[in-house]
């Protein structure tokens, strides 16, 4: 049965729900927004109510952290009901200009940041980067991510990994500027048609490369490829998994030390959704002098930073404390010098929160690759 001919109830298996409330109970944004995802799952059963539901502002508060889906005892994905409602809005065209522009940019330029496709590999300038060619065998085919490729704040992730790869002699290659958005945020914004197109095009694109596996720099791409690209002909891993392999093989040697207290913030798309918890921690622990702390709410209980779910383009109406601020305050209370993350969105939200709270002097938010970059032998 095609998705179009299914009713909302069938498509999201609404009748499978027992209204236990574990979804809303676990939803991180309930402390600051009016969102009650369980009620949407309940109410979406009534077809005649859908238009009204889709107009509720809180459907845009969902960060797509997937906690509701991970915890659901019946295997449902409550957040997808919200995304389905978003899709109705997208369809009607009544969206925020920011969202419209981001989606249009993905369609035209292959990234949501309204940057030119031609500039996608500009970050490589001055670096000796191996570029992949279709059909030429390579072990690790890297997928950079739109945010890392264009945002100067997080470009260091890609740059440092190139330096590290060149140093370790790992067989790798990067894609040139033909690399196109994975569609993670397109999907969560509810642009189903565009997402379907991206899945089709990217699958065809990747399948032409004879790589053993795809290595993504962002957990969002990592999970999107693993979950939504059923026809991809190679496995997809996150770069922390690759580096952890190298670490265990003794191939990563750090120069210098970092006598700092580091607390790791689990990105939802890496931890809760991807099941990758230990690798980033192992990498941080390998930095000489570093002391790894843990948040009270870590790993499976990690708190979302509110960076996903299209939140980069939709401002929340709530004036209550942002979760990223809660996170930074918790880190401060722990006495952490560095909040380490493994996701470009987490860098942006947490750093913003840290600056807003005025902790810049005593604290730092850094992506793991930014930290490791300081210890790669020249």
Partner 1 sequence: MTEKPKVGVYVCHCGINISATVDVDAVAEYAQKLPNVVVARTYSYMCSDPGQSLIKNDIRELGLNRVVVASCSPRMHEPTFRKAIREAGINPYFLEMTNIREQCSWVHEDKEEGTAKAKKLVKASVAKARLLEALESKEVDAEPAALIIGAGIAGIQAALDIADAGFKVYLVEKTPSVGGRMAQLDKTFPTLDCSACILTPKMVDCASHPNIELMSYSEVEKVDGFIGNFDVKVRKKARYVDFGKCTGCGDCAAECRVKDRIPSEFDQGMGKRSAIYLPFPQAVPAKYTIDPESCLFLTRGKCGKNPKCQEVCRAEAINFDQEDEIVEFKVGAIIVATGFDPFDASRKPEYGYADYPNVITGMEMERLVSASGPTGGKVKVFNSEEEIEPKEIAFINCVGSRDKSVGNEYCSRVCCMYTAKQAHLIRDKIPDANIRVYYIDVRAFGKGYEEFYDRVRRENIRYIRGNPSEIFKRGNKLVVKVEDTLTATPLEDEVDLVVLGVGLEPRADMRQVMDLLRLSQSPDRFFLEAHPKLRPVDTATEGIFLAGCCQGPKDIPDTVAQAKAAASSAMIPLARGKVMIGAQVATVNEATCRGCGFCVNICPYTAIELVTVNRFGNEVEVARVNEALCKGCGSCSAACLSDSIQPKSFRDRQILPQIAALGAMK
> Which residues of the chain form contacts with partner 1 (CB under 8 A)?
18-27, 30-31, 36, 38-39, 67, 70-75, 296-297, 299-301
Please report, to the nearest 10 degrees, the dihedral formed by the alpha carbons of residues 198, 199, 203, 206 taken in order.
Answer: 50
Q: In what order do the strands lie in the sheet with 138-143?
A: 172-174, 138-143, 211-216, 236-238
Mapped onto helix, strand or coil, the DSSP state of residue 111 is coil
Compare residues 22 and 322 and give the one whose CB is closer to partner 1: 22
Compare residues 55 and 74 and give the one whose CB is closer to partner 1: 74
Mapped onto helix, strand or coil, the DSSP state of residue 357 is helix
Residue 213 CA to residue 215 CA, distance in Å, equals: 6
- For the chain, the first-to-last Cα distance in angstroms comes to 57
Compare residues 40 and 174 and give the one whose CB is closer to partner 1: 40
Least distance in angstroms from the C-beta of 68 to partner 1: 8
CA distances from 149 to 101, 110, 217 (A): 18, 12, 10
Tell the burial category of 288 from Cβ atoms under 10 Å away from its Cβ (0-12, 13-18, 19+). exposed
CA distances from 197 to 18, 127, 149, 182 (A): 34, 32, 22, 11
Least distance in angstroms from the C-beta of 271 to partner 1: 11
Compare residues 331 and 371 and give the one whose CB is closer to partner 1: 331
Least distance in angstroms from the C-beta of 312 to partner 1: 25
97: its two tokens: 């200009």
Residue 376 CA to residue 79 CA, distance in Å, equals: 41
Compare residues 109 and 266 and give the one whose CB is closer to partner 1: 266
Compare residues 23 and 350 and give the one whose CB is closer to partner 1: 23
Compare residues 16 and 288 and give the one whose CB is closer to partner 1: 16
Least distance in angstroms from the C-beta of 360 to partner 1: 27
Tell the burial category of 42 from Cβ atoms under 10 Å away from its Cβ (0-12, 13-18, 19+). middle
Least distance in angstroms from the C-beta of 321 to partner 1: 14
Least distance in angstroms from the C-beta of 259 to partner 1: 28
Residue 168 CA to residue 161 CA, distance in Å, equals: 10
Residue 246 CA to residue 243 CA, distance in Å, equals: 5
Least distance in angstroms from the C-beta of 77 to partner 1: 12
Least distance in angstroms from the C-beta of 252 to partner 1: 28
Compare residues 63 and 67 and give the one whose CB is closer to partner 1: 67
């Amino acid at each position: 049965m095609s998705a179009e001919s299914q009713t909302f109830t069938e498509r999201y298996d609404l009748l499978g729900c027992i209204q236990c409330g574990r979804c809303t109970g676990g939803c991180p944004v309930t402390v600051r927004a009016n969102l009650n995802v369980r009620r949407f799952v309940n109410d979406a059963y009534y077809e005649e109510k859908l238009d009204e539901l889709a107009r509720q502002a809180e459907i845009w508060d969902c960060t797509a952290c997937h906690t509701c889906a991970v915890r659901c005892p019946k295997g449902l994905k409550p957040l997808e009901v919200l995304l389905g409602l978003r899709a109705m809005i997208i369809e009607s065209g009544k969206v925020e200009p920011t969202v419209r522009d981001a989606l249009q940019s993905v369609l035209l330029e292959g990234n949501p940041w309204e940057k030119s496709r031609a500039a996608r590999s500009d970050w490589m300038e001055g670096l000796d980067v191996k570029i992949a060619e279709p059909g030429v065998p390579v072990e690790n085919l890297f997928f950079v991510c739109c945010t890392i490729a264009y945002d100067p704040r997080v470009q260091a992730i890609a740059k440092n990994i190139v330096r590290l790869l060149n140093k370790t002699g790992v067989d790798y290659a990067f894609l040139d500027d033909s690399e196109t958005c994975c569609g993670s945020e397109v999907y969560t914004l509810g642009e189903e048609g565009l997402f379907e197109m991206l899945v089709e095009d990217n699958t065809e694109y990747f399948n032409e490369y004879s790589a053993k596996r795809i290595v993504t720099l962002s957990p969002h791409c990592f999970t999107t490829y693993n979950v939504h690209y059923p026809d991809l002909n190679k496995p997809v891993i996150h770069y922390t998994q690759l580096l952890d392999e190298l670490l265990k093989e003794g191939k990563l040697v750090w120069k210098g030390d970092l006598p700092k207290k580091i607390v790791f913030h689990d990105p939802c798309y890496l931890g809760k959704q991807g099941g990758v918890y230990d690798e980033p921690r192992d990498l941080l622990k390998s930095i000489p002098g570093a002391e790894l702390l843990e948040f009270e709410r870590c790993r499976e209980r990690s708190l979302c930073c509110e960076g996903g779910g299209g939140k980069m383009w939709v401002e929340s109406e709530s004036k209550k404390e942002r979760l990223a601020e809660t996170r930074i305050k918790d880190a401060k209370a722990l006495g952490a010098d560095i909040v380490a993350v493994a996701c470009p969105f987490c860098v942006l939200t947490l750093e913003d929160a840290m600056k807003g709270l005025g902790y810049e002097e005593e604290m730092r938010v850094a992506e793991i690759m930014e930290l490791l970059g300081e210890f790669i032998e020249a």
